[in-house]
Amino acid sequence: METTLRGVGVSHGVAIGEVRHMGTAVLEPPAKQIPADEAEREQGRARQAVEAVAADLIARGNLAGGEAQHVLEAQAMMAQDPELMADVERRIAVGSTAERGVYDAFASYRALLAGAGEYLAGRVADLDDVRNRIVARLLGVPMPGVPDSDEPYVLIARDLAPADTALLDPALVLGFVTEEGGPTSHSAILARALGVPAVVALPGAGELAEGTLIAVDGSTGEIFVEPSDAKRAELESAAAARKATLTAATGPGATSDGHKVPLLANVGGPADVPAAVEAGAEGVGLFRTEFLFLDDSKQAPSEEKQIAAYRAVLEAFPEGRVVVRVLDAGADKPLDFLTPADEPNPALGVRGLRSLLDHPDVLRTQLTALSKAAEGLPVYLEVMAPMVADRADAKAFADACREAGLNAKFGAMVEIPSAALRARSVLQEVEFLSLGTNDLAQYTFAADRQVGAVSRLQDPWQPALLDLVALSADAAKAEGKSCGVCGEAASDPLLACVLTGLGVTSLSMGAASIPYVRATLAKYTLAQCERAASAARAADSAEEARRAAQAVLSGE
């Protein structure tokens, strides 16, 4: 009998197939004591396992490329954390086996992360995956992971570690469903990059029996269990119609009455550029530069290395717009040479622009490298600061740009509610705003983007978040300046129409989402988008806002 479940749709498309479950978690190793004379050998085993797991994660990242590479490299750094390894060796020195020492040390570190604020608590799943890989290697058992199958299937998991998501084969994994996670979790971001339909935060997903036929709608978040022939035909027809619409929609982003809405790509480095170009991106709306700095947490990359990486991206968009975010370090992206190691709550501490202003030499080198990378290129370079709180922050960044002789527009990211509430003040110092809706939602609702239990508060359809977007867009219009969105909200085609109606002037997203957004925008006039935006803001919940906007755009 057909039943319907609902989670959070995070990656567009429809997948119909049989359920296959992720492998079970590594068992807890026994707590047995070893003789003192075996401690050195066990410590060596632990170090070898850690290095092997870190190397494997880096190798997987190199194979995957793009966003996945950056996530996996960060995970490898987590495995090699010197303080964590020192704790493992201390535990072995007093009698633990290598596997038990790893297990207990990671458990202790896990408890610290869980209580260390939103960003670090959100990395618990990544830490668990690293622990499982190390313990599995020490025990000599297979690492739990994506099941072996000769036939395509829908993958079900409690959560998906980045190392598993990054190397999913879209030819076999038709889609995936997780019990945990949120719309901006690593799994969700990587699913969009892969173009795999996905639904997260579905309680009870693990109870779906192996081999059960299900249909996954990654746009609506609906899961149809044992769908009827009629439902399957309906979903397949809708998917075919959607594909035809995508194929027909080409050219720059615009509403049906010609209101231009540039569609830009979010990229993490040169590896992401080919997909963006193929999708018809009109430029880059968010160039995350952290990938360069995460290679070595002990020191910043040289100016020459930065110039080469930046130029590779700038050259791909001749006469296009490229918006670069300067280094956003801290919280879940700690760097030994830049961020404090003893903050009680790193997400609310010295991160983003605050870190850079504390280390002006790092900011100066990056701005100089960007300036040199753009020399002689017909590109419209724009540079923005992360985590701007007020006009003083904006002025400090603008002054640094001028002092570095940067020939570019400089702007501020709106990720903190204070920046949205005082957007006109911020715009006295910078030339544009860019809304990072992922962090803006976190800080508005005190809801970690990695925690499925609070996923309703991470939903970018929340009316309070739309209010902050409207405040920012209105301020930019009043000042004659631009206000884009570069957070994950822009990748939702229906929400993209609402953002356009709120006055947002450009939309930036993962390359895989650009065709969907382009096709949807082209169906509606600007006036329809404005009415949908008003209806969404008048609602009292995210679900009501979504339904209200849909009703307006469908003419109900």
- pLDDT of 330 above 90: no
Mean pLDDT (whole number) for 288-298? 77
For the CA atoms of 508, 512, 516, 517, what is the dihedral angle to 10 degrees? 0
Angle (CA) 203-204-205 rounded to 5° is 95
Give 94's pLDDT tier (boundaries 50, 70, 90): very high
**Side-chain-side CA neighbours of residue 536 (13 Å):** 32
Q: Cα torsion for 286, 288, 289, 293, to the nearest 10°?
A: 170
Q: Rounded CA gap, 153 and 188, in Å?
A: 18
CB 453 within 8 A of CB 504: no
Helix (H, G, I), strand (E, B) or coil at 380: strand
**Catalytic site includes residue 483:** no
Assess contact for 261 and 505: CB atoms under 8 A.
Answer: yes
Instruction: Report the alpha-carbon distance of residue 48 to residue 479 in Å, rounded.
Output: 58
- Residue 216, CA distances (Å) to 177, 213, 237, 542 in order: 8, 10, 14, 21
Q: Is the pLDDT of residue 389 over 90?
A: yes
Which uninterrupted H or E stretch holds 425? helix 423-426
pLDDT of residue 186: 67
Residue 386 above 50 pLDDT? yes
* pLDDT surpasses 70 at 114: no
| Averaged pLDDT for residues 518-547 | 96
Q: Which of 186, 483, 497, 529 is catalytic?
A: 186
pTM: 0.70
Minimal CA–CA distance to 489: which of 430, 421, 442?
A: 442
444 to 126, 195, 393: CA distances (angstroms): 25, 29, 19
Cβ atoms within 10 Å, residue 86: 11
pLDDT over 70 for what percent of the chain?
A: 90
Q: Which residue has better confidence, 331 or 170?
A: 170
Average of per-residue pLDDT across 308-335: 87
Show the tokens assigned to 28.
């807890």
CA dist., res. 211 & res. 209, Å (int)? 6
Active-site pick, 12, 401, 483, 486: 486
What is the largest distance, in Å, between two alpha-carbon atoms of the chain?
79
Looking at residue 237, what is its pLDDT?
87
Q: Can you name the residues that pair with 380 across neighbouring β-strands?
A: 321
Over residues 171-184, the pLDDT tens digits come to: 889 999 998 877 76
Q: Which helix (H) or strand (E) holds 313?
A: helix 303-314
Decide if 227 contacts 496 (C-beta within 8 A). no
- The predicted structure's pLDDT at residue 55: 87
Q: Percentage of the chain surpassing pLDDT 90?
A: 55
Mean pLDDT of 243-262: 88
- Write the CA distances from 433 to 102, 460, 471, integer angstroms: 45, 18, 12
Q: Render pLDDT for 201-230 as a digit per residue (tens, 0 to 9).
A: 898 898 898 899 999 999 889 999 999 999
